Every structure is written in C-alpha cells, then in structure tokens.
Structure 1
Amino acid sequence: MPSESTPAPDEDAVAVEESDETDAETDGGRETELQAHTIRLELVDEPGQLLAALEPIADNGANLLSIFHERGNLTPRGRIPVEVDIECPPARFEPLLEDLRERGVNVIQADAEEYGDEVTLVLVGHLVDTDLSGTLKSIQDRSGASVADIDLSAPAGAGSEAHSSARLRLRARADDIPDVIATVREVASEKDIRVIAPLEGRR
C-alpha cells in the first residue's frame, strides 16, 4: 500500500488548541512561542496503534500538524514507520516524548537536537558483499541513531575473500549510546561482521 500523508484531524486540533489557550496563558500573555518538531515513531501493524500514539500529543498540549504514515515500508522488525509533525511550547516537548515512551510507543527519532552525542565504531568483515547500505539502514531503524559519517576501506573490492573495514560515526542521545552500541553488535552479528567499539569514548 502506498505511503499516506494525512492532515491532522480537525477535532484533535481543536481539542489541543483549547488546551493551549487554557494552560499556556499567564498574566503576561502566552508563556512562550510554539516551536515545530518532527517525531518519527515505529508502530506495530495492529488496529488502534496510530490513535494510541497520537493521544499523548493531545494530552500534552501540542498541536498535531501532519502525519506521514508509511504502511508500505516496514522497518526490519516488521513495524510501520510514522512521521508526525507537531508544534508545542519548548518546555512541553521532552515530557511529551517521555509520555510516548511510557505508553509503549517506540520513538526512533525526535528532531536533530535529540541526537547530539556521538560514538565512533569500526566494522570489519565482508561489508560490501553483505550490503553495507542495508546494514546502515538496519542500524538506524533499530537503534534510532543517525549516521553522521562513514569512512570505508575496501581495497580488495566486492567478491574478495579479504575483509574490508568502515569507521562509523553515529549520533544519538547520550543516555542511548550503550543501547546503540548493543544494537550495532546485534545487526553486525547477523552478517558475521566484527565490531570494535567504542573508539575514544563519546564525543
């Protein structure tokens, strides 16, 4: 089924706007300007999952702007990626993300600033023959980290018995770095790739 881009339901927008009027007003006017954010979620392909993921957005006083629902493009774990655009006061964004996670919604990306820490690893093995781009996509989809830089050294070329190596720099939240490394090891083990990590700790 093709990807779908749908506007936010009117009733949700109205409900959220009313909440903003009630909660965001102070004696000096509105507490702050609204800021736009993009959140990428990973949902189980079951009825009601999308609605359950959207409820915390309204409950935390955010305005739902749009939803990009990629039903035809499942993640390696067989889940549906959903990209949600919202706007809310800055102080409400982190509590909203925490609420999503507490309700069991898998948040795999939330704005660039959520991925400000870095870790550097080295992958060694038949990287080209085992589809390096697919390996990187699996790492990103399953860990929520983003690839900041990659330096591939494969002098023997594809089809050679010799191993190639890649210096991989990943960006993620500081608290998520241990889980990111564990996910990289998990993905690598599926392709018989060795992981050397971390190099010089986090930056």
Structure 2
Amino acid sequence: MGNEPIVGPNDDRDAESHSEATAETEAETGADADIDTETDGGVRPYTVRLELVDEPGELLRALSPISDNGGNLLSIHHERGNITPRGHIPVEVDLECPPERFDDIVEGLRDAGVNVIQAGAERYGEEISVVFVGHLVENDLSETLSRIEAEAEAAVLDLSLAAPDGTDATSSARLRLAVDSGRTDAALESIRSIGADKDLTIVEPLLGGEA
C-alpha cells in the first residue's frame, strides 16, 4: 500500500476546476464554430448587370445559367430607354445564392455568351475614358468595340461619335469604359494594340482620370 498515491483534500477541487475549465473551453470552441457556420452558410443578395440583344428568348437564355448554378431570382429590371452604343438593352438582375456559387453563376453567364457588365460589388470598380481618332467607320467600329470588350476585358458604358466631315472622313469617338479594379494599365495596353492594328490614334486618360 506504500506505493499508492496520496490524495490530498485540494486534489478533488483541482480536478473539478480542470473539468469546468475544459467544459468552458469546449463550449467556447463550439460557439465559435456555430458563428463561423452562420457566417459561411446561407445565401446572400447580388446584383448582376447584363447587356442583351433585343430578340425573343434572349432574356430566358440569360436567366438559365443563374438557376442552373443554384441562384434564386429576386427581380429583373429592363432599361429599354437606355440603349447601349452597340444597340443592346441593359438588364439589371437581383438574385441570391450561396457565396461560393456566385462565381459559377457569372462564369455560366459568360459561357452562354451573355455580356456581363457588372457582377458583384468588386466587379468593374474603375472607369476610364479614351478617345479614338481615325477612320472609325471604315475600320468597322462595331468590331472595334467587340475587341475592346473581349481583349481589354472592359465594358463599353458610353460612346460619343463625332464625324463632322462625314463617315468616310476622319472621325473621333469618345468611349467611357468600365474595367476591373487594378486592371486599368492592362486594359489600356490592349486598347493600344487594337488602335495600332486599325491605324487609329488613341488619346489616353491622364493618371487614371478622364481623357
């Protein structure tokens, strides 16, 4: 019996205190996990701006990728009185979805050939204005705009064309573009390349301001 440990009167209290501390730690850990679950789970609202061709079935084609990727439509707003420079209709779609599905929805829209102008607060966070000078109409202005959207990854928000001597002569076009935050330099580099291909002069903005 001489080898048995001696249990003092304070040992029981120490054991109880340790058990209570362990229980409190586990409870706090569980509470933190519940908070993280509430933060990460559920759905959140998003707004997506699109440009659609004014043709039958175009809206349905644009909405399909949203529902196919787990999004729920909240509202749809057509801006028929605000036709874009390319003759498209701006459409604003409010939806809700789990945060981890939003990128899939945007990718699904683009894969379906839908022109996504803005998707979420972080998309197209900067605007720039540039001026093209040259034979714009002769060089196919519509194709130039398409290349800007595709190669510069920019959205054409507004276009003002000035051709005082007729469309066959030198003209100028002022474009207001929306680009992703931090991509202004890359977008301008692509625009310079497009201008060089079409023998157009580009007047660029100064220090991120308007041209």
CA separation of 1:61 and 1:75: change in aligned 2, threshold 3 A: same
CA separation of 1:124 and 1:29: change in aligned 2, threshold 3 A: closer
More strand by share: 1
Equivalences for residues 69-108 of structure 1 within 5 A? 69-108=78-117
Question: What number of residue pairs does the alignment pair up?
Answer: 138
CA separation of 1:66 and 1:121: change in aligned 2, threshold 3 A: closer
- Match 1:115 to one of 105, 108, 124: 124
- Match 1:67 to one of 64, 76, 79: 76
CA separation of 1:175 and 1:169: change in aligned 2, threshold 3 A: closer
**SS of equivalent to 1:112:** coil
Partner of 1:196: 204
- Match 2:56 to one of 47, 60, 80: 47
> Does the aligned pair in 1 maintain the 2:52–2:58 contact within 8 Å?
yes
The unaligned stretches of length 5 or more in structure 1 are 1-27, 126-137, 147-167
Compare relative contact order (CA 8 Å, sep 6+) and give the higher one, 1 or 2.
1
Q: Spell out structure 1 runs of 4+ moving beyond 3 A.
A: 28-31, 118-125, 168-171, 173-187, 196-200
Q: Distance in 1 between matches of 2:207 and 2:123?
A: 22
**SS of equivalent to 1:115:** coil
Q: Distance in 1 between matches of 2:181 and 2:58?
A: 25
> Does the aligned pair in 2 maintain the 1:43–1:82 contact within 8 Å?
yes
Q: Distance in 1 between matches of 2:78 and 2:130?
A: 34
How much does 1:172 deviate? Answer: 1.6
> Does the aligned pair in 1 maintain the 2:155–2:177 contact within 8 Å?
no
Asked whether 1:172 is paired with 2:191, we answer no
> Does the aligned pair in 2 maintain the 1:70–1:82 contact within 8 Å?
yes
**SS of equivalent to 1:113:** coil
Q: CA RMSD in A?
A: 4.4
Q: Match for 2:155: what amino acid?
A: G
Q: Match for 1:54: what amino acid?
A: L
CA separation of 1:99 and 1:119: change in aligned 2, threshold 3 A: same
Q: Match for 2:203: what amino acid?
A: V
Q: Distance in 2 between matches of 1:111 and 1:105?
A: 16
- State the percentage of identical aligned residues: 48
Larger Cα Rg: Structure 1 or Structure 2?
Answer: 2
The unaligned stretches of length 5 or more in structure 2 are 1-36, 134-144, 158-175
> Does the aligned pair in 2 maintain the 1:121–1:199 contact within 8 Å?
no
Q: Distance in 2 between matches of 1:100 and 1:76?
A: 21
How much does 1:173 deviate? Answer: 4.7
How much does 1:91 deviate? Answer: 0.5
